[in-house]
Amino acid sequence: MPVKMTKLEERAIKLLMKYEGKGILQSELWHKLGVTSREGSRIGIKLEKKGVVKRVREFANDRWTRRLVPLIKQIDVQVLNGVPCPSCIYDGVCGPNGEKYYASCPLIEEWVLKHAECKENENDSRE
């Protein structure tokens, strides 16, 4: 179920996603958002209650504060480019609640292999 957020919370999340993994000190985030520490603390608490961030106690800049670590991850929808299912004639019946054509689907296999090949070529060109 999607989580309802205010505009300010959405801005905070967008900023936080840039620090995926290690998070950011809450004071730095409030500074970037241009809000007071009081407003910022409220946002942090709300985001934690919504399960979007983890507030980790940390000693930084000579005082105890909180680090906000995102619990959500950005996903790369580019991966889904070219997936055959939306234009497949079996799309209406194939799936977890219908016939399980996807378990042995040659179109899916072809798409996965093509995608894996592209990834391999990308990795080779980086080396």
CA distances to 88, 92, 101, 112 from 98, rounded to whole Å, are 15, 8, 9, 22
CB 65 within 8 A of CB 25: yes
42 versus 84: smaller Cβ distance to ligand SF4: 84
Closest to 85 in 3D by CA, of 106, 64, 55: 106
Choose one: 43-51, 55-63, 74-82, 101-109; the region binding ligand SF4 (CB under 6 A): 101-109
Candidates 15-23, 52-60, 66-74, 85-93 — which segment interacts with ligand SF4 by CB under 6 A?
A: 85-93
Using CA atoms, how far residue 17 sits from 14, 20, 89, 100, 117, in Å, is: 5, 5, 38, 36, 29
Question: Any contact of residue 11 with ligand SF4 (CB under 6 A)?
Answer: no
User: Which CB sits closer to ligand SF4, 69 or 85?
Assistant: 85
Query: Which residue, 14 or 114, has its beta carbon nearer to ligand SF4?
Result: 114
Q: Is 115 in the site for ligand SF4 (CB under 6 A)?
A: no
Q: Contacting ligand SF4 (CB under 6 A), which of 19, 27, 105, 115?
A: 105
Contact between 85 and ligand SF4 per CB under 6 A: yes
- Which spans of this chain sit near ligand SF4 (rule: CB under 6 A)? 84-85, 88, 90-91, 94, 101-102, 105, 107-108
